Structure 1
Amino acid sequence: MENALEITGHRPFPLPDRPWVMEQIWNDVLFAHWPVPAEIMENHIPSQLTLDTFNGKAWIGIVPFWISRMRVRGLPLLPMMKSMNELNVRTYVEYGGRKGVYFFSLDADNLLAVTGARLLYFLPYVNAEMQVDKSEGIINYESRRKNEYNEIGKFKAQYKTESSPFNSKKGSLDEWLTERYCLWATKGDRVFRGDIHHTKWQLHEASCLIYENTMASFLPDKYFTNEPILHYSPQKHAYFWPLTRVRS
């Protein structure tokens, strides 16, 4: 079995020089992306970060998946941390010339993981009721937030792969939307980076029926009327490093 930590040629910057702290295996990952005018998206990211665009356009991404293995380095695989479902809403930013992901929200159905990520990574995790099942290659995914904001935190979709696997071409939109190796977070005036590593995504074209989506209600509905750009990947083993403060 290949060691993902030894495969680094696809990364835009080197691995951190300290040990990783957590590993996860992501399954049935769907990337659904819609273009958004940059001047609109800029109003929704922290002022310390610079919006990253492709040919002048910003993009909003909704990414559902489920986790089959979640382990903190040095600890056994704990039953309460073994698996969970997760649904991310994200865009793309840079700081100090390093491009990465900015998360508007991360919904999950594991309260322990939600609490820990909010405390340790300053990420906007939200506890949700989620149901995911797969039958004959079709993934049915449903999520509803378990708080007073659940009316603006619903997602229901059905998706499946529609092609053989491929690797994105260098400089393509496929690559730009998926190959990201850090996240950016802010707390007050402080800026933090969280490094991530995995091998290059092996992507598939996908189809998706979205029955309900109120995950990005901070944007006007008109930006979601067009068909999204879709990518699917069956599985990815990922490693995480602790947050690094890059601005006080």
Structure 2
Amino acid sequence: MPDFLPTPTLPATVAAPTLAQRLALRERPAGTPIMRQDWSELLFLHWPVPAELLQPYLPPRLQIDTHDGMAWLAIVPFRMSKVRTRISPPVPGANVFLELNVRTYVHLDGVPGVWFFSLDAANPLAVWAARTFFNLPYLRATMRLDEPGPELRQFTATRTHSGVAPAIFRATWKLGPPLPAAEPGSLAFFLTERYCLYASNKAQTKLYRGRVAHAPWPLRTAQVLHLESTLIESQGLPTPAGEPVVHAGSPVSVELWPMRRV
């Protein structure tokens, strides 16, 4: 079973964030981040989905974010490295690991962000800490990232977390040339410029929001040569139709702020 179950009713539709509100989140938040890390070898796999399909899976106050009337469901594998808190250096053996998330995009009070259906990770300590202190649905998994060629990447994952639906992910992709910076208001901007995340307790009675800061993703083209996954289905969602919209992300350095109740 997924960590979060669909709610039976839909909230009233509210206005989506304006472009100005989306661009404002590029600014680094005030205060001191609690954690820093680097993200690399990232692949965005996005499918358009009717908003009414995803809305029931959200906490009551969150609203699905849409582009040209469609919601988007994504699978995102990547490597996390140089993981450290603001008061400690990277811990050998715990500062580099692979992660894989299933996500959609939401907004609340004019603040757009990411909602995670699941986050699989190959680091038991990170899974425990994220579930315990950040209310994020992290799950244990075994993962591997190979480079069978100079521009080829092969990512494999098998969920090992007890008490939840099993899932696997297998993907091979070929990296292409860099893309121009995503134009504000474009689909690439909507899908990749996300500087806020939302989380909820399991009963969905409390809602939290956290900020992240990093440079806009330097995007590349990518061609998916093989894709096999049951991650989306493990959440009780139907398999998206058609081929995904694909982007690859070059490395970025990331700062994370505390999750605050909203």
TM-score scaled to structure 2, two decimals? 0.85
The residue correspondences of 1:1-248 to structure 2 (distance < 5 A) are 11-13=23-25, 14-134=27-147, 135-148=149-162, 152-187=166-201, 188-217=204-233, 218-221=236-239, 223=240, 225-246=241-262
Q: Tell me the distance in 1 between the aligned counterparts of 2:155 and 2:165.
A: 17
- DSSP-derived class of the 1:79 partner: coil
TM-score scaled to structure 1, two decimals? 0.90
Measured at CA, do residues 238 and 11 of structure 1 come closer, stay the same or move farther in structure 2, by a change above 3 Å?
A: farther
Q: Tell me the distance in 1 between the aligned counterparts of 2:33 and 2:53.
A: 36
Measured at CA, do residues 121 and 151 of structure 1 come closer, stay the same or move farther in structure 2, by a change above 3 Å?
A: closer
Shift of 1:148: 4.4
Q: Which runs of 4+ in 1 moved over 4 A?
A: 148-151
Mapped contact 1:144–1:150 kept (Cα < 8 A): no
RMSD: 1.6
- DSSP-derived class of the 1:115 partner: helix
Measured at CA, do residues 149 and 228 of structure 1 come closer, stay the same or move farther in structure 2, by a change above 3 Å?
A: farther
Shift of 1:162: 1.9
Q: Which runs of 5+ in 2 are unaligned?
A: 1-21
Q: Tell me the distance in 1 between the aligned counterparts of 2:180 and 2:90.
A: 32
Mapped contact 1:107–1:145 kept (Cα < 8 A): yes
Q: Which runs of 5+ in 1 are unaligned?
A: 1-9
What percent of counterpart residues are identical? 39
Mapped contact 1:30–1:64 kept (Cα < 8 A): yes
Measured at CA, do residues 164 and 16 of structure 1 come closer, stay the same or move farther in structure 2, by a change above 3 Å?
A: closer
